[in-house]
Structure formats: structure tokens, C-alpha cells
Amino acid sequence: MLQEMPAAAAALPIDRETGLKLYEDMVLGRTFEDKCAEMYYRGRMFGFVHLYNGQEAVSTGVIAQRRLDDPVCSTYRDHVHALSSGVPPRAVMAELFGKETGCSKGRGGSMHLFSAAHNFLGGYAFVAEGIPVAAGAAFAAKYRREVLGDPTADSVALCFFGDGATNNGQFFETLNMAALWKLPIVFVVENNRWAIGMEHVRATSDTSIHKKASVFGMPGYEVDGMDVLEVYRYAQEAIARGRAGEGPTLLECMTYRFRGHSLADPDELRPKEEKDQWFGRDPITLLGDRLIAAGLVSADELKAIQRRIQEVVDESVTFAETSPEPNPADLYKYQFAEDE
């Protein structure tokens, strides 16, 4: 396991504004997910709900680097990726409540969040399903630039998936195509060590996922997924490569989910000692301590952010609860593209 960086590091490679932005985004993700757990156990959400607690540094560190025209593809654990991409909390919460005001009009639910306005391409219930979709988005940018002659078409696709997905065919096939065509894409493996109840070390012949990039001739890096500043730095370099036409990059972010696979999972398979060790490396706490130690912020400022974000999340629940249900007469609406 990667070692924790000292909280008292004197200087940080970011300024105050960036530090606050990263901290606020991670707090939003954590607070939102905690509220989702509360609503689920109160019977306000249904189906499977997979929370992101503990992995916030990955979503924040990568997506903080994107431009709006950079598409983002997620997994079934997609709430926080959507929030980091700019999808309003009220639109995400309303979707989880199955309301018409949700970002997928109440038709998708927890695992199928989409937002065209924010270039957020899903939300996929099947493992590894979003990987080839992200490659298609990357190919579209390359085609517009090199074939249609659009010099502004330099977007980079950001593709998130878990360690379990790297044993699927879509992973290998898509990495092959991305390398062959030098697609502008960043593959982000969120290695939280467990694919539902299957431990990663028991499911793959080579547990170092980032090394598999070398087979396709692309750079692959192991990144401390609990350190948002390290994720931020590696993502910055990977996105710059893609934008410069240098092809794809694979980032294996070593992280850990603080809750079970889903809210229906009693989480009895993971050893307590393992969980306690990772709980001690909470990415939000680590960043907050480093910002304070570097003299960029005060503890009171961070508490103020937490209070403000809690109000935003609470308001999203009020919005969701008071929003209308989808109209049964619109059962077949949104299945096909419609004329404006």
C-alpha cells in the first residue's frame, strides 16, 4: 500500500484557490453520498445504490482538470463523478428519487446518470460498459480535428472504471484501439481492491493494472488515489498528452471505498484491520490537514465549507421530494432522439 505523505509538508504545488476548490468538491461528494445513505435507509430511494465514500480524491483530482468539452464516462458508482462534472446536486438527487426533474428525467436512477449539458455520458450498470463509449467520444474528437479540419477539436475523454472491469474484454479491446489510433483519452482505474466480494488479488494474474498499459505501448502509472494532489498532478499530465495528440494514458489510482459494495451489502467480507487502515487515510482529512499546515486556509474556513455544502445537499433533498413524478403518458418518451 502506498505510504501517506506527511501532513506537515511546508509547501504545496497548488495555490489557495485551487486547494479550496478541490476540498469543496470532495466535501460535496462525501456529504451527498452520506445523505443518499440516509435517504435509502429511510425508504426514499430504491434499487441498488452504490456510494463513492473514500474515493473522492480520484473523481476530484481528475475532473478538476477538465474543460466542459472533455466528455466524462463513469460506472455504476457514478453520483460523485456527475457532481464533479458540474451536474447540480438537486438534479442528481431528483434522479435518485425517480423524479421528472432528475438529470435523466427520472428514468435512469442511481446507475444511469446522464447530462448532455455537462458532457457527462453516464452512468453504466454493466461492468466495463462505459469504456468503449469513452473511446468513441475520443475518436469523434480526433476525427473532427484530423479529418474535418477543426483545430478546436482537442477534447480529451475521461474514462472511469473499477479494478474488476480490467478483467473484462472491453478493457483490453478498447486499450488496443486507443493505442492503435492514438486516441485522446485518459483511462482511470479506481482500484479499491474489491469487485463486490472478490478481492482483486484473487481475480487477476497480474495485480499491477498500470503495467498492462505497456502491452499496448501507452504510459501507465500507479497513483495514490487517497492523495488528491497526486491524482491532480498525474491527471494534468495525462490530459495534456491527449490534448497534444500524443495518445492515451492509463492511471491506476489506488483507493478504497469506505462503505459496502452497495447499500444492500452488509460488508462482512473485508477484514476489519484492512478497513481501519484505509479509514485512517481519509482523502478529505488528508487534504484539509495539508492546506492548514501550509498556511493556505484555516480550520474555521474548512468548517464553513462543510456547513455550506450541507445546506446545498439538504436543499437538494427538498427539491427532489417536492418535484413531480414522471407522467405515465410519457412512458415511451426519450427513447429516441426527438426534433427540437
Average pLDDT over residues 242-249: 97
Among 110, 107, 113, 85, which Cα is nearest to 96's?
Answer: 110
pLDDT of residue 336: 85
User: pLDDT of 88-104, one tens digit each?
Assistant: 999 999 999 999 999 99
User: CA–CA separation, 264 vs 82, rounded Å?
Assistant: 22
Q: Which helix (H) or strand (E) is 72 found in, with range? A: strand 72-73
C-alpha count within 13 angstroms, C-beta hemisphere, residue 52: 35
Three-class SS of residue 283? helix
CB 22 within 8 A of CB 228: yes
Q: What mean pLDDT do residues 237-260 have?
A: 98
Determine what percent of the chain is predicted with pLDDT higher than 70: 96
- Are 227 and 286 in contact by the 8 Å Cβ rule? The answer is yes
Phi and psi based region of residue 295 (left: phi greater than 0; alpha: psi -120 to 50; beta: remaining): left
Instruction: Supply the pLDDT for residue 22.
Output: 98
Whether domain 16-317 has CATH 3.40.50.970: yes
Spatial distance between the Cα atoms of 309 and 325, rounded to a whole number of angstroms = 26
**What is the share, in percent, of the chain residues with pLDDT greater than 90?**
91
Domain-by-domain residue ranges, the chain? 16-317
Which range, of 3-12, 233-242, 247-256, averages the lowest pLDDT?
A: 3-12
Tell me, yes or no, if the pTM score tops 0.85. Answer: yes
Rounded to the nearest 10°, the torsion over CA 69, 75, 80, 82 is 30
Distance CA 222, CA 92 (A): 31
